Structure 1
Amino acid sequence: MASRSSNGSGLHMHRQKVESNGLSATISNQKESNCIENLERELKNCYQEIDYLQDQLNLRSSEASFMGEHIHSLEIKVRGLETLNGKLSLMDNELQRSESQCLDLIHELEHKEEELQNSALQVQKLEMLYLDSQCEIESLKLDFNEMEQRLFESREAISQLEAENKELHLYRLESRRLFSKAESQLEKLLENLSVHLGGKIEQEMLLEARKNLRFSDDLCSSEEPLGQLFSKFAIVATYDHYVEVEMKKMRDKVKESEILVNQLKEELQDEKRKAKEDAEDLTQEMAELRYQITGMLDEECKHRALIEEASIKRIKELEEQVMKEQRKATSAIKRYQEAHELAERQTLEIKRLKGAIERLHSDENLGRSKRIESCSCGFCAISSEQPDSSSKGPVSPEFSQALLDWHPAEC
């Protein structure tokens, strides 16, 4: 009985122990089921949060790729700005070269103006030479007219001398006729005298009596026929001598006048020839000079017109080029300033985004560390402070998006 009682008590204790173990097992099962339910809820929330974080991560990765592309475009713009700076330096050099070319053109224009002034002075000198040659030609024309007047006067004198010579020739013929008539009469008278005197008069005395101009008074006191004869003979002899002397004088004058006329003719011909040659030379020289002057003036006018046209065209081109370069420089400077401002804004925005991303990562790391520290089960990294799906939903995207908002106006 004692053994039975001891066995009964042992069974009762074992039963109690089993019951207590069953109760404790049920209690532990309930706790475990409750813990599992809590873990399932937290796991579901974690899955939701992981999905949300995956979406946010995808969004952030897309934003990061967009920002990378934007940064790459900004880098390209910065490189373009560097190339633009190089272009600006090149344009500055080209502008300096154009300014130096403008100065060279201005100096060239001044040189051309000096050449034009010198050519104008040369043209004035040529015009003065032309006027001097015209004056010389006029003086030669006056000399030629004077020589023609002298020739006309000499011709008139020659014609007068020829008329006088003709008159003297006629007078000489008439005197010779009268002298021959008187001589025949004298011979007749001598024959009659020889008949009357009965003697012969020597021929030499008669010839001497013919040439002699004066007769003696003894012959006058002789017979009247002889006196009349000798008086007539003396008159005829004296007239003949006078006529011969006058004829000789006239002959000498005619010879002198002929010599003078010949000399004048030769001189006049020489002067005419010289004047003609000089006039031809002068006319040829004047024609050549006029042709040269007109050619030089035409060439100078054409050259000046071409130079002026080319210089005006070049100046206009340079002015247009300078204006274009100035506009390009101003636009480039403006674009450079805008790009520089944009780059500064982009750098500030990039810094802001980097700070926001760093804050986001720090917040995520901080939340994960809190969840790891507050987990009670020891098997997961779930925070006990994480709100369940029944009370609070997942983290609002507005909160996370506010961390990544881009405020270019604040930059």
Structure 2
Amino acid sequence: MNGFSLWRYEMRATVRRPAPLFLSFFIPLAIIVIAVLSIQSFFQDEEKQIQAAIVDHDQTFETKSLVNQLSEEKRMKRALQLAPMTSKEALEAFERGDIAGIMTIPKGFTKSLRVGENEPITVMTNQEKPLDSTMLTVLLESGAKYISASQSAVNAVYDLHIKQLPGNERNQKLQEAIVTFTLFALDRNEAFEEDKVISGASVGWKTHAIIAIVLTFIVFFIILYQALDGGAHSTSMSRRWRMVNLTFMHQVMVKQLKWWLILFVMLEVGVGIIVFMDLPVYYSAGLHLGLFLVALWLSAFAACLYGLNIQSSVRSLILASISIIGLISAGAFVPEIYLPDWLYQKATPFAFSYDVFRMAFVEQSESMPYRGLVLWGIAFSSLALFAGYRKEKRDAYVSVFTSK
């Protein structure tokens, strides 16, 4: 009954003094929102087109089609602005540093293409712009591969069909084949299938970012809340509790139970917000059990540090340091595929927590983190109780086991 009285006292204090709860919720939320907006703004600012010039010495229908497709193709257009220029204009812009490179189509390019020969398109890049020059080279090499594919298709059609036709009809069909396959190759029309493959993060970059945000918010929520809510009772208050056989060990137990409940509610709210964002979430009993166990080990971890009876600032610093390292090693910030083997750890409670959230987006999850979360939760809870018991023993107070 006395333990229930302490629990009722703590919950009443939470309701009457809601400032710690609200501050612990809104401060991490505001910091995360500002960080996300800053990162988004940074990438938007960095998302600029590469400026390059194209000089066409051949000036045929095929080369004009090539220039038009390279300039207007929607994928290339997002990264590259290719401006037709004369040789003089291109060189002047190149010397001023206005462009990252010059792409030159030589005289006789179309004629060599029609007879199945490869007349190279020369590319000159500006070494004073290494990033833009490298990107330009990669983009044009990609385009060159598609052009080579189209030329191979033209050669195959010519050998199998067009070569057998009469002279006038052969030239017309050959030109049609060149234009058709070149346009298909450059704008990736129905002649090519596109598959979107999720890479880097096993659940996709967007989902991974959401999981990272929610996990970071929950961790920093408990860091801030245990600091604001976990202040030590005054000596007079502690003596009053001891008069009714309530020791520091009881305080540790009640703190953990309260933090466990509040964390679980916050986790459920986080999943609810994800659902509100119209993202596909697989609701299941396993997901709620996982959230329940994540709240268990996090609250037990905070209670363990609380049971050591150290200053709240030092306690928060220790909790924050371990949490940041744990989140990094769990692949919560950077996907595990990019982490070195010595850094990525699968058996940490942070990794198990990440797996719980991954279960929300994957219908059938191979990893079942329940056992690991239970073990970590029991371990931290035991350490918290042991730390509280040791403090009472040092204070020479009657053992908790003799309490009525």
Shorter-chain TM range is under 0.3
Per the normalisation by structure 1, the TM-score is 0.23
Kindly name which structure, 1 or 2, has the bigger radius of gyration based on alpha carbons: 1
Bigger RCO of structures 1 and 2 (CA < 8 A, at least 6 apart): 1
Per the normalisation by structure 2, the TM-score is 0.23
- Which structure has greater strand proportion? 2
